[in-house]
Amino acid sequence: MNGAFIRQLISGASPPERAAFHAFLDRVMQGDISKHEVVAFLAGLSAKPLCAEDVGNFISYMFQVSPVKRLAGAEDAVNIVGTGGGISTFNISTAVAFVASAAGAKVLKSGSAAYTSRCGSLDVLDALAVPMPKSESQLTDMVAKFGLGFIPATHYGVLLRQLIIKVFPLAFRDVAGFVNTIGPLLCPYEVSGQLIGVGRFEYLDVFTEVLTQRTSPKTLLVRADCGMDEFCSIGVNHCRLISEGVQRFSLSSRNLGFGGGSIEKLAGGTVQQNACILLEVLSGQRQGEARDTVVLNSAALLFVARVAASIEDGIQLAAAAIDEGKAIQQLERVVEWGHKLQPNKIVASVA
């Protein structure tokens, strides 16, 4: 075992140099490494506060062995994703993908199964019978038809697959909190913009440092005062906009036209409960904090996508997409398309 490297990694005194970090990952890729070393590596990264050096070293290697791909017709797409680690809510970013795409943005969304909550993006999509593309051609077709695509876990870089294989039979999520936290930076496809929520305030600056050191698309980072890794319609949201420089600012939800309310109204539950909330928000049946928070995040994504000139303008577009029935119709059309791909798939009850 490379004890010196692991000890330096977890000590926090000084992060390993990029050459040593990449040399370790070379061994992972070559299979010349033990399970214990890989588990110690991932657990060590996950046990200490996130630092820009470790994040930069990891993602630079990942994209070195699996370069970011260009999906035909999705060059102008945007992504919305969170780091997890904040308070547990229903699947806000998944709802936003439908609203923003119904309002005119092209959305290519990354996501995962549940990590810090009971129901992740892929879990609720499965419950709603939303198809997960089985191939890149199906993903291309989905984006072309709906201006919306969901990236399957199998499309991520080979490094992640090797790490998952190495820690088996341990669950990757149990030892790889670091990878989940930096997941928003691991999108395998080019996008023109991204809205990234971070669960800890100090990580706004970590992500900003990493993104400004790379050639990154227009990115809006946000962390809500309440602890959410998304915009919240209750309280203040702290932002970093990375686009030809860095702008640091905060947005009060009240100044954007939203009232107060209770954070408990944003709580998630089981997969079926979250699917029901999502349906009610998209169809306009659920008002209040849940709808307001989806509208606010959709507005921010529309701004990132350059469909709206400002977040304020985006609020009007997002609200109209729900009120005019476009958001729920977007979901229905995607489900119908998926049924043709997988005619035997049963839609789970969300009652």
Q: What is the DSSP string of 185-232?
A: G--SB--SEEEEE-SSTTHHHHHHHHHHTS---EEEEEEETTS-SS--
Considering the domain architecture, whether residues 41 and 87 belong to the same structural domain is answered as no
Buried b (16+ CB within 10 A) or exposed e, 115-140: bbbebbbbbbbbbbbbbbbeeeebbb
Instruction: Specify the range with the lowest mean pLDDT, choosing from 20-34, 82-96, 137-151, 325-339.
Output: 82-96
Q: How far apart are CA 149 and CA 171, in angstroms?
A: 27
**115 and 61, same structural domain?**
no
Q: What is the mean pLDDT of the chain?
A: 90
SS3 readout for 103-150: CCCCEEECCCCCCCCCCCHHHHHHHCCCCCCCCHHHHHHHHHHHCEEE
For the residues 87-103, what does the mean pLDDT come to? Answer: 94
**Does the residue 249 lie in any domain?**
yes
Span 43-68, mean pLDDT? 93
DSSP 8-class letter at 86? S
| Residues facing 202 on adjacent strands | none
Task: Answer yes or no: is 162 within a domain.
Answer: no
| Domain-embedded: residue 161 | no
Residue 61 sits in the same domain as residue 88:
no
What average pLDDT does the segment 270-296 reach?
95
* 115 or 146, which is more confident: 146
Single out the residue of 53, 64, 43 nearest to residue 20, CA to CA.
53
Structural domain includes residue 206: yes
The residue from 44, 65, 86 where one domain ends is: 65
Instruction: Judge whether 347 lies within some domain.
Output: no
> Are 264 and 125 part of one and the same domain?
yes
Q: What is the pLDDT of residue 117?
A: 44
Domain boundary among 39, 65, 91: 65
Predicted pLDDT at 345: 54
> 287, exposed or middle or buried, with CB in 10 Å at 0-12, 13-18, 19+?
exposed
Task: Indicate if 24 and 122 belong to the same structural domain.
Answer: no
How many domains, in total, are found in the chain?
2
Mean pLDDT, rounded, for 265-284 = 93
Structural tokens at position 139: 């993903």
CATH of the domain at 308: 3.40.1030.10
Determine the average pLDDT of the residues in 148-174: 90
pLDDT above 90 for 220: yes
3-class DSSP state of 44: helix
pLDDT at 118 over 50: no
Residue 37, domain CATH? 1.20.970
- Three-state DSSP at 339 gives helix
pLDDT digits (tens, 9 = 90+) for 295-322: 999 999 999 999 999 999 999 999 999 9
41 and 84, same domain (yes or no): no
Same domain for 123 and 20, yes or no, is no
Cβ partners under 8 Å of residue 275, min gap 6: 124, 127, 128, 348, 350
In a domain, 164, yes or no: no
Model confidence at 229, pLDDT cuts 50, 70, 90, reads: very high
Domain-located, residue 350:
no
Lowest mean pLDDT across 10-14, 86-90, 290-294? 10-14
83 pLDDT above the threshold of 90: no
Residue 244 sits in the same domain as residue 148? yes
What is the pLDDT at residue 113?
A: 41
Question: Do 20 and 126 belong together in one domain?
Answer: no
What is the pLDDT at residue 2?
64
14 and 137 together in one domain:
no
Edge to edge, the sheet with strand 218-224 lists: 148-150, 107-109, 78-82, 193-197, 218-224, 236-242, 246-252
Single pTM value for the model: 0.92
Q: Which domain holds residue 185?
A: 78-154+172-336
- Residue 132 and residue 49 in one domain: no
Same domain (yes/no): 83, 106: yes
What is residue 318's predicted lDDT score, i.e. its pLDDT? Answer: 98
Residue 349 has pLDDT above 50, yes or no: no
351, pLDDT greater than 80: no
More reliable by pLDDT, 118 or 248: 248
In a domain, 221, yes or no: yes
